[in-house]
Amino acid sequence: SYLMARDNELMRLILPSPAAVFKKWGEIAFTADFLYSVVKTLKNVLSGFIAGAVIGSALGAITHYFRIFDGVLSPLIKLIRAVPVVAIIILLYLFFKNDELPMIIVSLMVMPIMWQTVYDGLGNFNRELAEMAVVYKLPAAKTFFNIKLLSLIPELLTGAVNSLGLAWKSGVAAEVICLPDNSLGTILWQSKGNVDYDEVYAVTLTVII
């Protein structure tokens, strides 16, 4: 009976009820410190996402049009994509400040996806449209912006949606490891260290929302 009661208490500790989690969330969600942490994490993720999307898209166009860059950059980008996120975080943790690292990690996770999206999109471009541009003697810049770029927009949106989910998860993971001040990842780690699993699940609920 004692062992069963102890096991039940342990289960309630590490797997709190939904009511306990929502109660804790209500207690912390609208405090000034918590809202500041949410805003800081959002800033890191969105800044890294925008940087990674812009750099990845630019590299996709460069490696498509200039084969010399394709031979040099494509293997490096594929290598970044293959390395586990945690390994990249630990390696870069040696060289960057805690507050900078989450944004850098997010940009490195987003960049290969957007590179692949643009690279493949330009490679699969409708050849009939390309021939039409040649027939009408459209300048290269006008062909790219008015035809190729417009045809890429649906693929760019799909790539952006896919990479944004990865950006959010990798950004919070980087915060859990490098523990920048005032961030959701740091709160997660501190809650786990304090054995406050109600708060762990409440913060996780915030991340999901």
More confident residue, 82 or 131: 82
pLDDT tens digits, one per residue of 116-136: 888 888 877 666 666 676 666
pLDDT at 67: 84
Nearest-angstrom CA–CA distance, 201 and 21: 6
pLDDT tens digits, one per residue of 29-64: 889 999 999 999 999 999 999 999 999 999 988 988
Nearest-angstrom CA–CA distance, 90 and 51: 21
Lowest mean pLDDT among 142-146, 176-180, 195-199, 200-204: 142-146
pLDDT at 11: 56
pLDDT at 141 over 50: yes
Taking the model in full, what pTM does it have? 0.81
Nearest-angstrom CA–CA distance, 115 and 107: 12
For 105-140, b where at least 16 C-beta lie within 10 A, e where not — what string? bbbbbbbbbbbbbbbebbeeeeeeeeeebeeeeeee
pLDDT tens digits, one per residue of 190-201: 988 887 888 888
pLDDT averaged over every residue in the chain = 83
